[in-house]
Amino acid sequence: MFLMDQPRERCYTQLSLYCLHLASGHTLFCKSIKAKTVEKYLIDAADMIAPLCGFDPRRTESSTSKNAPPLQAIITEIKRWESVSDKRREPFTPAMLTHLGHLATLEHSKHKDDELLAVLFDFFLCGLYAGFRQSEWSQDTKHHPDTPDLNKFGQTAAFTINDITFFAPGDRRVSLAQALSIPEIVLSATDTCWRTQKNNQNGEKKRFASNTTNPRFCYTSAFRRICQRFIRLRGNADKSTPLSVYRTATTGELRLVTANDVGQCMRYLAQAVYDIHCPKELQLFSAHSLRVGACVILHAQGFNEIQIQFILRWRSLAFMAYLRNLTALSQQQNKAFNDFLLDHDFPPFELI
């Protein structure tokens, strides 16, 4: 009824919000529904509203049979989720990261801090905070530092040393030389710049505070090691080579981390930590698992949709395709159930 005297734009915008509400799982059975079902909901809503307002509230004009662009965009996104549901990657987890850190410390090479496992540990750690996409820090197939993958502007696609800024307490900017060469400097935060992104939010910066409670898993400390390593291997004048460079253990050759390096390491960790041996299951661990893992951690800790979108740089609710039924969520459900029982003072009983 309230749409009766409203213009078309208000009507299809309202239905777009309704569509988004349904896609988020707010249905009679409190679960996600398929795009075809959402469209049926919209047909019913339009049939009810059209006689009151004199036009189909899904359309921008009477002469078209197409949904308004905002409405169609949401339906298209729901269909995309459905198409990838059988191919979605498994999340990289803190348990896998911990095991990788153990493996990295077992290396006996004198250059172990510059070799692949150490590099992967640092980037995997940061990726669990920031939800890195593969192209944002590693290469597709190229190994040589002088031939990195380029973005659409002809620049190095992955992070370079110019994309990282360190801060001391009080948000005082610290020069790279100070941050890396003076151990006594206490770093409070790190800014990371995404020059190009899949969602076209190019130039976006995110700030990550130092983890003083658990310094072994600190984003700022990891990027400090990454930058120190890069300068050891490539020098501080190199502004175009990706930061994910490492020295091979056998020949000492400098290489860039590739998606294949990442996938092989993750599959090994999944096998070691979770006893997964099925090749088909192991193939679900790849460079994209970092982004999935970051999403799952925030969701399990109670972050809402808007917070997850903002922190992990999504422009839609596409991340919901990555959510998993975790033990942590079940434990939270147990707590909620127990709190409800306590609040309502149900009488005790004996189990039969």
Average pLDDT for 53-68: 86
| Domain encompassing residue 80 | 8-84
The set of residues, in sequence order, having a beta carbon less than 8 Å from that of 97 and lying 6+ positions away, is 121, 124, 125, 128, 217
The confidence score (pLDDT) of residue 296 equals 87
Position 253 in a domain: yes
Is pLDDT larger for residue 265 or for residue 47? 265
Q: Note whether 163 and 233 are same-domain residues.
A: yes
The confidence score (pLDDT) of residue 78 equals 79
CB 248 within 8 A of CB 158: no
* Lowest model confidence (mean pLDDT) among 12-16, 120-124, 158-162, 210-214: 12-16
The confidence score (pLDDT) of residue 107 equals 78
Ranges 62-76, 150-164, 294-308, most confident: 150-164
Position 143 in a domain: yes
The answer to whether residue 192 scores a pLDDT higher than 80 is: yes
The answer to whether residue 99 scores a pLDDT higher than 90 is: yes
Position 192 in a domain: yes
Q: Note whether 38 and 165 are same-domain residues.
A: no
Q: Note whether 227 and 257 are same-domain residues.
A: yes
Position 250 in a domain: yes
The confidence score (pLDDT) of residue 29 equals 60
Q: Note whether 125 and 160 are same-domain residues.
A: yes
The answer to whether residue 277 scores a pLDDT higher than 50 is: yes
Position 349 in a domain: no
Q: Note whether 78 and 128 are same-domain residues.
A: no
The confidence score (pLDDT) of residue 8 equals 85
* Boundary-marking domain end, from 250, 273, 291: 291
The confidence score (pLDDT) of residue 182 equals 81
Banded pLDDT at 133 (limits 50, 70, 90): very high
Q: Note whether 286 and 241 are same-domain residues.
A: yes
Mean pLDDT of the chain: 87
Position 69 in a domain: yes
CATH code, 160: 1.10.443
The answer to whether residue 54 scores a pLDDT higher than 90 is: no
The confidence score (pLDDT) of residue 86 equals 45
What are the strands of the beta sheet with 164-168, ordered from one edge?
A: 172-174, 164-168, 189-194, 204-209
Q: Note whether 66 and 149 are same-domain residues.
A: no
Is pLDDT larger for residue 155 or for residue 322? 155
* Lowest model confidence (mean pLDDT) among 242-256, 258-272, 333-347: 333-347
How many domains are there within the chain? 2
Average pLDDT for 2-9: 77
Q: Note whether 62 and 112 are same-domain residues.
A: no
What would the pLDDT profile of 147-173 be if each residue is shown by its tens digit?
A: 999 998 999 999 999 999 999 999 999
The confidence score (pLDDT) of residue 273 equals 95
* Boundary-marking domain end, from 50, 84, 118: 84
The confidence score (pLDDT) of residue 110 equals 83
For residue 205, count other CB atoms closer than 10 A to its CB: 10
The answer to whether residue 81 scores a pLDDT higher than 70 is: no
Q: Note whether 165 and 256 are same-domain residues.
A: yes
Q: Note whether 105 and 204 are same-domain residues.
A: yes
The answer to whether residue 13 scores a pLDDT higher than 70 is: yes
Q: Note whether 125 and 29 are same-domain residues.
A: no
* Boundary-marking domain end, from 51, 84, 117: 84
Position 312 in a domain: no
CA 290, distance to chain mean position in Å, is 7
Position 105 in a domain: yes
Q: Note whether 125 and 12 are same-domain residues.
A: no
